[in-house]
Structure 1
Amino acid sequence: MTLNPHHGAQAAASDPFGERSRRHASLCRQIMGGCFRFESASAALLDLVDAAYAGLPPHRLPPAAPEFRIELRLLPRRASPPAAEPPPVQMQSGAGLLCGVMDASNYVVLAPAQRQALVVASADMLERPYHLRYELIEFAVFTLATRGLGLVPLHGACVGRQGRGILLLGASGSGKSTLALHSLLQGLDFLAEDAVFVQPESLLATGVANYVHVQADALRFVDDGEIRRWIGEAPRIRRRSGVEKFEADLRQGHGRLAPAPLELAGMVFVSSQAADDPDVLLSAVPGGEIAARLCADQPYASGQPGWHPFQQRMEQIGAHQLRRGRHPRDAVDALRRLLG
């Protein structure tokens, strides 16, 4: 068979936007109360999605879950990919679209009103699965779920038991992840350690309990050899801040993942400061200070729809500050007392 050397160029000229139908495989996952359909011609991208979301408890929120569609497109390798980490994502919006752009070959375009997103990645990004998953794919999932389900997006963690949860807030480095890990190891249900999404009317909280991220020095508080191996043998990731952490897969059977959304029963601001009295770690936050502390802790969420009813409900519940004790398990005991 004789090939026409101009065929490829002609095809590109006739379909410059890549709109023509391609053979796509798809997979569906129940995530954060929504049904997400991922479609791609790239098996490698779908494998990355499956690694992120397979095996999670299928959280559902009232009313019935809508369907979200995310198309993932793989481009050829960049001629000169960056030697260090990829460039940070730059946000843009307009004409009802939201965009997150790393560069011309790696970006996300979201249409929240249509519950759809396009994730584009270059083949070399498959060598950086953490950045590809966390900054492009999860960005699309979290943003669509937040806008499509009317959730308040929070930077924080959440643990609980018997359907009740405690929201853990605080600055990066305050110890939220370590506390969430030890809560899991001490028998509490693990909902999320980095991002929590709350339905403001019901105060039902959901998240993605796929990984926990802890620094190496947190292992000194882990006595169980099997748990130490589980974390110590996990891949290491590097945050944009430069902090390196283990990324341990929570679906390997260590502890219990929250099987359903947790109804928030309390809020705790986690502090890196040691308690004056190691037997008294919790102190109530005065009611008149809760709103200001909450807004200062969550600058992005405080500007989103649903914030004011959420804030009012959390003021009614009350808040505590948690300082460090002798061992993280002492902080877990304090959370248990709040849960009743």
Structure 2
Amino acid sequence: MPGTAAHLPLQASAAAVGDGAASDPFGERRARRHALCFDLLGGRFGFHSDSRRLLALAEAAYAGLPPQRLPQAQEFRIELDLLPPSERPCAAPPPPLRTHSGAGVLCGILDDRNYVLIVPAERRALVAVSQDMLEHAYHVRYELIEFAVYVLAARGMGLMPLHGACAGRSGRGLLLLGASGAGKSTLALHCLLGGLELLAEDSVFVEPEGLLATGAANFLHLRDSVLAHLDPQIGSWIGGSAQIRRRSGVEKFEVDLRRGPGRLACEPLRLAATVLLSAEAAPPGQPLLERLPQAQAMLRLSLDQPYAAAQAGWPDFVRRLASLGVYRLRRGASADASLQAIRGLLE
């Protein structure tokens, strides 16, 4: 009957007084008593949880980074919930992240107890992690917590998300792009060791109008092959870092940039030029750096950044980047030679 269903929730609540699961089936009154706040990617991020172990992962990712603030800074809230163990064996690697969206919610899902829900319009996200998944701290941090931060920053402040690195000095930056294996991480390392400030190694977020770039230079991911070309002291620093396995199966050192030499950018950098790294070696006697014609530069940037190229505002954004100058950097005899080639773009 029409009136019966309307009274069922009240009857159920009255019958379940004192039963927390029945009176709060969605856990909306969960306390989340502990919190951390960081100035990241141009905004302020608050992490809230009842689990100190989950907050420790956020702290490992972002504590000690120079604060980054943009003029359009917003405040964001990320809630971290620890759930009971899943039935998956602890030693088994987490399944690949799947994405989904609808009703204004963006989802990243590992399994039914490990996922992130992001509501960009409200500048909020929920990260759920099962107790056994804490054995896979890298995946929790990188694929759930950092994923939530990056998506919220881009959507909440209208930033263009780019896969690449950025380094510079005196408030001016170079955007370093290129396919996997082109040498972005190695060049980023040499920028850091060569006196430039590192803004980001893997993800760069750019304010589309003024081309002001921000990022989180927390970790640098390097293959062990890089050790043979480094000063022994630097090699010891990198070689003593934790090793992680990418989804591709490639193992890399995860080098904490906050604990090593060099300077991290203490403020957003205004882009001065874009450098596209090429795996092609420069012919003897030929310059490593070559400026691309504007039409070719815009095409190459769109091919290099398929996710960003699908975002609203990309045509105007890529035109602004191209007008500053887009350069192809071919491989030199050493990473130091590549560094010297791009230094002049900051003059």
2:69 to 29, 44, 60: 60
Structure 1 alignment gaps of length 5 or more: 1-6
Tell me what 1:230 maps to: 237
Name the SS for the 1:135 alignment partner. helix
Tell me what 1:4 maps to: none
Q: For 1:174 and 1:164, how far apart are their aligned partners in 2?
A: 23
Tell me what 2:11 maps to: none
Q: For 1:82 and 1:139, how far apart are their aligned partners in 2?
A: 22
Contact 2:90–2:132 (CA<8 Å) still a contact in 1? no
1:150 to 134, 146, 158: 158
Q: How many percent identity over aligned positions?
A: 58
Tell me what 1:3 maps to: none
Q: For 2:195 and 2:166, how far apart are their aligned partners in 1?
A: 14
Q: For 1:201 and 1:280, how far apart are their aligned partners in 2?
A: 32
Q: Which moved more, 1:298-307 or 1:327-336?
A: 298-307
Q: Deviations over 1:70-98 (max 9, x none)?
A: 00000122122364421111111111111
Tell me what 2:77 maps to: 69
2:170 to 132, 156, 162: 162
- Structure 1 residues 32-111: aligned runs within 5 Å: 32-63=41-72, 65-81=73-89, 83-111=91-119
Tell me what 2:198 maps to: 190
Deviation at 1:17, TM superposition (A): 1.2
Q: Deviations over 1:260-287 (max 9, x none)?
A: 1111001111011211126621112122
Is 1:22 matched up with 2:17?
no
Which structure: larger Rg? 2
Structure 2 CA distance for partners of 1:230 and 1:68, relative to 1, 3 Å: same
TM-score, normalised on structure 2?
Answer: 0.92
Q: Deviations over 1:7-27 (max 9, x none)?
A: 9x9432332211123252111
Q: For 2:196 and 2:313, how far apart are their aligned partners in 1?
A: 28
Is 1:285 matched up with 2:292?
yes
Contact 2:90–2:135 (CA<8 Å) still a contact in 1? no
Is 1:212 matched up with 2:220?
yes
Q: Which amino acid counterpart does residue 268 of structure 1 have in structure 2?
A: V
Tell me what 2:12 maps to: none
Structure 2 alignment gaps of length 5 or more: 1-15
Q: Deviations over 1:147-186 (max 9, x none)?
A: 0111000000111111111101110111000000011011
Q: Which amino acid counterpart does residue 265 of structure 2 have in structure 1?
A: A
Q: Which amino acid counterpart does residue 67 of structure 1 have in structure 2?
A: E
TM-score, normalised on structure 1?
Answer: 0.94
Q: Which amino acid counterpart does residue 103 of structure 1 have in structure 2?
A: D
Structure 2 CA distance for partners of 1:291 and 1:279, relative to 1, 3 Å: closer
Number of equivalenced pairs: 331
